[in-house]
């Protein structure tokens, strides 16, 4: 292992391997939730923006600040034609500060699930609260404990597209509800040779109760908990949860 984050390793092929993600649908759902819970929204923080597929869509509607810890991911995001007016920040989502307050914040594709300790979860939510204006909405998703255990588990996945292959080996710890992902990426070069890159990351499945508690500790009220981006009612087999939290708001769910 090189010790690199798997997202540095994946940065050049991430969009190819995630071509089936409905970012238009996610952007539409985010916009609807911000309109419903966030009041008048002109500026948005995209937390854990990655290569910027959602950032680019948000930038067509809002003034966007985008933060990610991976410089390789940020470089890929900044290269998008629709991100020319986005303000990019390389930073840690657990502790960051913006120059001025934003109206809303979003974090998608389980970025928050990478926070595997409760204290890091509270630090992140506190940083978001500090970045938001009073009454500002924070829309984010997390992977569920069910997904960590039953879908990821100790399984190995192989993802293949033209000129790209990724092997994703998982190791699940039932006590901590954490999964360690070890990723090996193979990318074909113009010469026909293949380059290899390795990376590693971890995620944790958080319960609704734990997320609500951490949000409350940071001064948020939980306004909505839904199943994935179709915003249905969560069930025991829901794999992704969507939360809407409001700074200074009350918990309604």
Q: Are residues 61 and 92 in the same domain?
A: yes
CA 137 to chain centre: 16
In angstroms, the CA 26 to CA 129 distance is 22
CB atoms within 10 A of CB 228: 16
Residue 16: predicted pLDDT? 65
Report yes or no on 159 lying in a domain: yes
In angstroms, the CA 52 to CA 78 distance is 8
Residue 8: predicted pLDDT? 63
Q: Are residues 42 and 61 in the same domain?
A: yes
Q: Are residues 184 and 119 in the same domain?
A: no
Q: Kindly state the tokens that stand for 130.
A: 């500090």
Residue 11: predicted pLDDT? 60
Query: pLDDT of the chain along its 253 residues, tens only?
Result: 344 555 666 666 666 666 678 999 999 999 999 999 999 999 999 999 999 999 999 999 999 999 999 888 899 999 999 999 999 999 999 999 999 999 999 999 999 999 999 999 999 999 999 999 999 999 999 999 999 999 999 999 998 888 888 898 999 999 999 999 998 989 899 999 998 988 888 999 999 999 999 999 999 999 999 999 999 999 999 999 999 999 998 877 6
Q: Are residues 166 and 67 in the same domain?
A: no
Residue 163: predicted pLDDT? 87
CATH of the domain at 106: 3.40.50.150
Q: Are residues 188 and 64 in the same domain?
A: no
Residue 2: predicted pLDDT? 40
Q: Are residues 38 and 155 in the same domain?
A: no
Provide the domain count of the chain: 2
CA within 13 Å, CB half, 193:
3
Report yes or no on 4 lying in a domain: no
Contacts of 17 (CB under 8 A, 6+ apart): 10, 159, 161, 164, 166
Report yes or no on 252 lying in a domain: no
For 28, phi then psi, to 5°, come to -65, -45
Q: Measuring CA to CA, which residue among 115, 167, 136, 120 is closest to residue 39?
A: 136
Range of the domain at 107: 19-143+205-247
In angstroms, the CA 232 to CA 221 distance is 20
Residue 5: predicted pLDDT? 58
Q: Are residues 90 and 74 in the same domain?
A: yes
Q: Are residues 24 and 68 in the same domain?
A: yes
Residue 3: predicted pLDDT? 44
Report yes or no on 5 lying in a domain: no
Q: Are residues 92 and 171 in the same domain?
A: no
Predicted TM-score of the model (pTM): 0.92
Residue 21: predicted pLDDT? 87
CATH of the domain at 189: 2.20.25.110
Q: Are residues 112 and 166 in the same domain?
A: no
């Amino acid at each position: 292992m090189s010790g690199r984050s798997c997202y540095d390793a994946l940065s050049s092929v991430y969009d190819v391997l995630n071509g089936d993600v409905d970012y238009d649908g996610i952007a539409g759902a985010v916009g609807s939730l911000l309109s419903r819970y966030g009041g008048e929204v002109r500026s948005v923080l995209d937390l854990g923006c990655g290569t910027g597929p959602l950032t680019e869509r948000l930038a067509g509607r809002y003034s966007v600040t985008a933060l990610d810890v991976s410089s390789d991911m940020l470089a890929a995001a900044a290269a998008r034609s629709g991100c020319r007016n986005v303000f990019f920040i390389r930073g840690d989502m657990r502790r960051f500060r913006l120059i001025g307050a934003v109206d809303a914040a979003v974090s998608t594709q389980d970025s928050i699930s990478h926070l595997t300790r409760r204290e890091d979860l509270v630090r992140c939510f506190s940083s978001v609260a500090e970045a938001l204006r009073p009454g500002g909405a924070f829309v984010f998703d997390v992977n569920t404990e069910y997904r960590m255990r039953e879908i990821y588990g100790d399984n190995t996945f192989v993802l293949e597209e033209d000129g790209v292959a990724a092997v994703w080996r998982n190791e699940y710890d039932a006590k901590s509800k954490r999964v360690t992902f070890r990723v090996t990426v193979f990318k074909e070069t113009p010469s026909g040779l293949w380059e290899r890159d390795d990376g590693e990351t971890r995620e944790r499945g958080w319960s609704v109760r734990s997320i609500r508690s951490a949000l409350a500790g940071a001064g948020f009220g939980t306004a909505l908990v839904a199943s994935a981006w179709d915003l249905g009612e969560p069930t025991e087999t829901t794999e992704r949860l969507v939360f809407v939290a409001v700074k200074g708001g009350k918990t309604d769910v």
